[in-house]
Chains A and B, each alone.
Chain A
Amino acid sequence: MKYAIYLLLAICAMVTACTVEKTDYDAEIATDTTEYFDFEEVTTIKKGDYKVTIEALNGTLYKGYNEIHIIIVHAQTDEQIKNADLAFLPILTDANGNKSSCPHEYSLSYDAINGYYQGYSVFTNASSTTSSWDLYIDFAIGNDLNKLVESVTVEEQVNKNLNMTAFTGQDNNQYFIALVAPQSPDVAKNDLVAGIYKFIQPNQPAGDFPDPSQYTYAIVDDHSLLLDPRMPEPSMGNHSSPYNENLTQGNDGLYHGVVNYTMTGNWTLNFIFQDVNGKTIKGTEVPIDFTPGIEGKKSELYIDILF
């Protein structure tokens, strides 16, 4: 009898050990995405009596949208400098020595609760051997104006869910759309957040470099971004998902919408970008038919993601 029970237990153990392992779902959805929550130091620059610390998620600047925190402290007393006039300007120098910038917040305001100056920068290129990024930071404490320049490295964006695109609209303006969230999507309803910016053409000749008036970018207000997510892979036959919501601007200046991902893998976010009056600036409708074996056609305006 005992023997039989042992035998049964042994069979139990043998059979419950499945031949195919169940998928570890948390690991599965984190394969191609890393989620960063903590702001860490990118660099600290000493300038006169002050130390300026630049922080970003994971302590790294990536191509695409970066929220930037700047902390200024007095080098001797370690006292935080609040409410200084802080100007922030990223400048890209290419192989030919041409200078350009990218969407950014020029005047950073002080966040008293968290104790830092908050801004953002949407780097349009990663640093390479031929192109480099410098941050021009000016801060005035009373009448004491400090200017500093710091070279920084912008890493390639490995998380496709934070991809960006730059394009010229039908109104001949230069626009930028950068994904902000979700960093690590789920097979679920995801809140999709993007920043939309445009370059403001300077209307006066350049002054001394760096002349901020030559590098002005603005958040695009009250436009809308129509969304049609699809899986472009031929085997997926232009598969899409239900109940997505177009992106509209929120109080934080960013655009918020909803994207449903029905499974992991490659997805294309097809967009149609429209102005306040519903006039299309960029983007085309994509076919909605289910066409197995044929690669899904993309809108003129799209961002590929992967998770």
Chain B
Amino acid sequence: MRFLTLILLVFGPWVQAQNTPVTSDSLDVVLDEVLIVAAKKAKIETDMKMAVSVDEFLASSDNISFVKRGAYAWEPLLNNMSTERSTITIDGMHVFGACTDKMDPVTAYVESNNLSDIDIKSGQEGSLNGATVAGSIDLKRKSTAFGRAKTWDGAYQTGFEFNNKQFFNLGNMSYSSDKLVVDASMSHRKADDYSDGNNDEVDHSQFTKFNTSLGLAYKTSDLSSLRVDAIFDQANDVGYPALPMDLSLSRALITSVAFKQFFEKGLVKVWDSKVYFNAVEHYMDDTTRPENLVHMDMPGWSTTYGLISKVNLKGENYTAEIQLNAYDNLSIAEMRMYPQDRSERTMFAYSWPWVTTRYAGLSMSNAWDISNRSQLNFGGSLGVNYNYSKYIEFNRIFHPEASQEKTRFLPNVYASYQWDNQGFNFSIGTGYGHRAPSVSEGYGYYIYNSFDRYDYIGDPDLENEISYEVNASAGFTHKKGGIKAQVNYFYIQNYIIGRILSAGSPMNYQSVGVKGYTSLDYATLFNFSLNANYSILQNVHWKGTLTYARGLDDNQNNLPFIRPLSYQTGLHYSYRKFGIQAALNGDLMQVNYSPEYGEDETPSYTNLNVSADYSFYINNYKTVVQIGAENVFNTYYSTYADWGNIPRMGRNFFTSLKINL
């Protein structure tokens, strides 16, 4: 749905352009308009807070929840499914974290000031960038248009959060001329340990993050441009209170070169091709945890090369995107244990034994306006996924017959119908798709999961996970407000999950046993959300969200990390240059928890957040200051998805200042 809006937004101006006489000048304008619309679509900020991290921004979406292992790098769950089941991309580029313990989801390697938008697609509609079950999260980078009226543009944000003494500085600038565009950003965040609702410090929850990005676009002709992009991200000294280890350094370099060609006539409007390279390195560190019995080094590396080539088609009442997507990823993770007597021989094994993943897929998404009121969206992809484990002997210890190479075919299809009339709208859709096991699920070797305290072993010959999905929504919008209900239901065959193995014994000293990734016959997942907003007065707006989910395995037992009934409600009041927001959010008690996967009953909680902002001008530069407080009542709580029940942050006052240059 969001995707569709984006397409419409991008192509809206084109439709108009075709009715006007075509001159080279007006084409320039058109090209620029397209880019402007795309770039200015959204801001990375929430109602509550204008200076948010990428994680906080994602958290404001209905179908995203988070597994939190500390204050940094939360793992986004889409439709209550873990990251293996969703495709997370940056401008369509595949990036894979280098940590076996999921300390570094892809979202940890970007910063809010180099993104323009985050595009979330639920279920098989997200298969455009690669095979998926849960959907896709595409992080869209900022890209300024050519020949903008304002040659130089920029913003600077700074702020302080009192609870964990987080101090951040975010700056970005752009230059735009007829031929050349430069986008640059730089940011730095540094935070100490946070305190929970009992005012106790949560040890090992500090972080430091530096991120910078540079994008250069050059207009090679009236209708084409070349763009080079790079993001560099570095995090140092990051604590993970829920894990037995911290992070000493993680670094990512994400680069791409793209060539875009627009076409004046015909069905094909844009042809956009990109080659990319990214390298992620991640070094865990347990020297900060003297209580650990065993000292271990656990470095990880992930290197990806890829290609995306896509064309956008636009007919009278038909739009489509066809995309070719290919990548090659090499994931390596090592584990070296040190005996108490350090002069003795160290113990070494690979937790990812040099696993190569190659994927090539052709995908298509189509939108067909059947009438003014109804639209049909359909599409699909066909991918080939190839895996190769260089040191297959590791995998063969538990799976003696494991194949070193494995090729899978991954089909994905979806269709949905939307109808809209006089404020009423509804949609109904369905999807079918396969996904390949992730590197950990397929080739992981003694990956310690501190949540259920098992060592996990991958199985290279797992079957594809197959998802059958239906979704529906119904809503009503009025000039004073709107309401919308959405449901989706997934029936997932060969659902991959860890099951206790009778063979083998733990390797990590905290572990209680060994689990192997196996396929359940099936699992089912149901997600529901209800959104409403209403303008009580011209300057008083109300918004509310209710979500509910249920996940069951083939024995009708609960799946882990399924969000209980949760709610968010907020009021926004604005008066001249002042804005005041108050929001209440919480989860009900988690009744349907899964003891088998280390979950326990999580009590309910409610949080109140408030903030106020004021806008003014300093020398014609628009400036906004904001102050606020999160968890106003200083509630001590942890949510269903807090790894090891670590408590969340207690009362946190925050301040921020933003100057638009």
Interface residues of A (CB under 8 A from B): 1, 4-5, 8, 11-12, 15-16, 18-20, 22-23, 25, 28, 31-32, 186-189, 231, 233-243, 260, 262-266, 288, 290, 292-293, 306
Contact = CB atoms under 8 A, between A and B. Distances in A.
B293 A293 contact: yes
Given A241-B397, A242-B504, A290-B506, A11 B349 contact: no
Interface string B287-325: 000000110010101010000000000000000000000
Interface string B334-365: 11111110001111111000000000000000
Contacts of A266: 339, 344-345, 347
Contact of A189 (B277, B345, B393): B393
Given A8-B255, A266-B345, A293-B509, 12 more contacts: A19-B249, A20-B299, A233-B340, A233-B347, A236-B294, A236-B347, A238-B505, A262-B349, A263-B347, A263-B349, A288-B505, A290-B506
Nearest to B337: A235
Contacts of A4: 214, 216, 228
A239 B255 contact: no
B393 A186 contact: yes
B526 interface: no
B232 interface: yes
Contact of A23 (B334, B393, B507): B334
Given A16-B279, A188-B396, A31 B349 contact: no
Given A5-B228, A242-B397, A12 B349 contact: no
A241 B393 CA distance: 13
Nearest to B506: A290
Contacts of B218: 1
A1 B215 CA distance: 11
A12 B360 CA distance: 25
Contacts of B506: 237, 239, 290
Contacts of B507: 236, 239, 262-263
A187 B216 contact: no
A8 B293 contact: no
11 contacts: A12-B255, A15-B251, A16-B279, A22-B301, A22-B332, A23-B336, A186-B393, A189-B396, A239-B505, A262-B397, A264-B349
B618 interface: no
A74 B347 CA distance: 52
Interface in B568-595: none
A264 B345 contact: yes
Contacts of B299: 20, 22
B283 interface: yes
Nearest to A266: B345
B344 A189 contact: no
A-B residue pairs, 6 tightest by C-beta: A188-B393, A242-B503, A265-B347, A263-B349, A292-B509, A15-B253
B514 to A, nearest CB: 8
A234 B335 CA distance: 18
Contacts of A239: 505-507
Nearest to A240: B505
Interface of A is mostly: loop
A28 B394 CA distance: 15
Interface residues of B, number: 55
A234 B294 CA distance: 9
B400 interface: yes
A210 B322 CA distance: 89
A16 B251 CA distance: 10
B394 to A, nearest CB: 6
Contacts of A19: 249, 251, 281, 283
B446 interface: yes
Contacts of A293: 293, 509
A8 to B, nearest CB: 5
Which of A5, A18, A288, A293: most chain B Cβ within 10 A? A18
Nearest to B354: A25
B398 A242 contact: yes
Contacts of B332: 22
B391 interface: yes
Nearest to B446: A262
Contacts of B34: none
B606 interface: no
Contacts of B345: 31-32, 264-266, 306
Contacts of B281: 18-20
A260 B505 CA distance: 12
Interface in B491-518: 501, 503-507, 509-513
Contact of A264 (B347, B501, B503): B347
A15 B346 CA distance: 28
Contacts of A236: 294, 337, 347, 507, 509
B30 interface: no
B230 interface: yes
Nearest to A292: B509
B51 to A, nearest CB: 27
A292 B340 CA distance: 12
Interface string B437-480: 00000000010000000000000000000000000000000000
Contact of A16 (B253, B294, B398): B253
B400 A243 contact: yes
A11 B230 contact: yes
A187 B277 contact: no
Interface string B213-244: 01010100000000010101000000000000
Contacts of A1: 180, 216, 218
B392 to A, nearest CB: 9
Given A1-B218, A20-B281, A234 B340 contact: yes
A231 B347 contact: yes
Contacts of A242: 397-398, 501, 503-504
B598 to A, nearest CB: 17
Contacts of A237: 506, 509
B505 A235 contact: no
Contacts of A288: 505
A115 B501 CA distance: 51
A161 B461 CA distance: 32
Nearest to A258: B400
A17 to B, nearest CB: 10
A166 B393 CA distance: 33
Interface-central residue, B279, B293, B345, B505, by most chain A CB under 10 Å: B505
B509 A188 contact: no
A15 B232 contact: yes
A4 B180 CA distance: 12
B340 to A, nearest CB: 6
Nearest to B349: A263
A16 B330 CA distance: 13
B300 to A, nearest CB: 10
A291 B281 CA distance: 33
Contacts of B348: 23, 28, 187, 263-265
Contacts of B398: 242-243
Contacts of B337: 235-236, 263, 265
Given A11-B232, A16-B279, A235 B509 contact: yes
A165 to B, nearest CB: 21
A8 B232 CA distance: 10
Given A15-B251, A23-B348, A265-B345, A290 B503 contact: no
A229 to B, nearest CB: 11
A240 B218 CA distance: 60
B293 A235 contact: yes
B88 to A, nearest CB: 21
Contacts of A264: 345-349
A263 B393 CA distance: 11
B29 to A, nearest CB: 24
Given A19-B283, A265-B348, A266-B344, A243 B397 contact: yes
Given A11-B253, A242-B398, A187 B393 contact: yes
Given A11-B253, A262-B446, A25 B391 contact: yes
